[in-house]
Amino acid sequence: MVQGQGHQEAHGVRKGPPGGRWLQLLIGVICMSMIANLQYGWTLFVEPIDQTHHWGRASIQIAFTIFVVMETWLVPVEGWFVDRFGPRIVVLIGGVLCALAWVVNSMADSLAMLYLGAVLGGIGAGGVYGTCVGNALKWFPDRRGLAAGLTAAGFGAGSALTVVPIANMIQSSGYEATFLTFGIGQGLVVFVLAWLLVHPHPDLVPASTGTKVAQSRQSATPGEMLRSPTFWVMYLMFVMVAAGGLMATAQLGPIAKDFQLDGVPVSILGLTLPALTFALSIDRVLNGLTRPFFGWVSDQIGRENTMFIAFAIECVGILALNHYGHHPVAFVILTGLVFFAWGEIYSLFPACCGDTFGSKYAATNAGLLYTAKGTASLVVPFGNLIVASTGSWQAVFYFAAAVNAVAALMAIFVLKPMRARRMAGNEGIGRLTAETTG
């Protein structure tokens, strides 16, 4: 790097990898979109698997819980490897495991084999997810909300373009062939792109002194973060909001079937599709758009203020879905609202974690916080059990709405003052705006 570049170097201009940090971000987004179907496409397979093997919804959905637990609880370990050895090797292995998982699912003739596929897929998807988000936090300390949001958008909206092809292929060729074809294709894309990922050198990223949100000057180790009460408040809030959203994600197919809407044609803006397919397509798009949108908003008005707005919208959306969701058009629109107000947790919480605990161990620390999604997934099978015992989704909807309302209030009255105190203690940088002065 030429020493005389002065002004340009202050903006993070040292020559880095081809395409710079924005290409690194784009690679992360594409990789995330390739693993999205492992979670968001799952609901399309539940009924076909049950019709073929008659294992029961609750038993089949245990595979979803296993996937999410493995995807989340091992991310800190994968983040540790990323922080020390760089992102490439972790994503390479993750792509191979994601492909292998759906190959196993295509051949599964027992629940044990289906659960094995969930284990492999969870480990692989977690490696890709944690690496790409952690890399975004490191490359973009000045725009953490937006960068984490765009990366997470790949996971949230990545399956939007493949919802219809997967649904059609299940109908025409069976779910087994669909697992095999899409599994190999998705894994191959991740494997190839992984070779382009690199770890950012400190001289290649801009300073975060111009941000509108406070950021810690100090990088807390994972152990130091785990001893912080602020971390556990964030963790609890993450669990609460994720639990409600995961129920909708995993159960949307069964909900539509129980509402007798899954095959009902719906026409919106000149497009006509079965209600469930329409809802899944719109939900994937909105679940992706919400992540960079609310991430960008949080860069402007603060993480906690944005959390309050989003969680309150989610609460209202879930209650409206419970009340009006039996109408086909309302079902499509309201599920879109629910996904829009839920998906932002995957940009807000990583950005909040990076702001609070620093960049050096961002992949590991964000991974530890991300395990909250795995904890929340333990609640998903109870949704089926509640419905089986009550004959209605009403109790599930009320639970999801209530935890979102509580989390919205916690963002303002608990997390906000706690983070403000920590920022003051750690000589936080950035403009201490209203959202951090509590």
CATH of the domain at 93: 1.20.1250.20
Q: In whole angstroms, how far apart are CA 134 and each of 49, 103, 144, 202, 358? A: 35, 28, 10, 15, 12
25 part of a folded domain: yes
One-letter identity of residue 212: K
283 part of a folded domain: yes
One-letter identity of residue 141: P
Please provide the DSSP assignment of 399-417 as one string: HHHHHHHHHHHHIIIIIHH
Query: How many angstroms separate the CA atoms of 331 and 321, rounded?
Result: 7
302 part of a folded domain: yes
- How many CA atoms within 13 Å lie on the side-chain side of 281? 17
339 part of a folded domain: yes
pLDDT for 15: 65
Residues 6+ apart with CB under 8 A from 120: 97, 98, 100, 101, 104
pLDDT for 208: 53
pLDDT for 412: 96
7 part of a folded domain: no
How does DSSP classify residue 267? E
Axis-axis angle for helices 229-258, 380-390 (nearest 10)? 40
List, for the chain, all residue ranges whose pLDDT scores fall below the cut of 70.
1-15, 203-212, 248-250, 426-438
Query: How many angstroms separate the CA atoms of 362 and 138, rounded?
Result: 7
pLDDT for 14: 52
pLDDT for 6: 41
Query: How many angstroms separate the CA atoms of 106 and 112, rounded?
Result: 13
- How many CA atoms within 13 Å lie on the side-chain side of 380? 31
Query: How many angstroms separate the CA atoms of 348 and 323, rounded?
Result: 29
pLDDT for 414: 96
Cα of 262 vs its chain's centroid, Å: 25
| CA-based nearest residue to 82, from 26, 126, 36, 141 | 126
Query: How many angstroms separate the CA atoms of 26 and 140, rounded?
Result: 13
Structural domain including 127 reads 18-437
3 part of a folded domain: no
Please count the structural domains in the chain. Answer: 1
Residue pair 155/131 in contact (Cβ under 8 Å)? The answer is: no
381 part of a folded domain: yes
Residues 6+ apart with CB under 8 A from 2: none
Query: How many angstroms separate the CA atoms of 239 and 226, rounded?
Result: 16
Structural tokens at position 273: 């599709």
Q: How many Cβ atoms sit within 10 Å of the Cβ of residue 420?
A: 19
pLDDT for 428: 43
134 part of a folded domain: yes
pLDDT for 437: 35
pLDDT for 339: 86
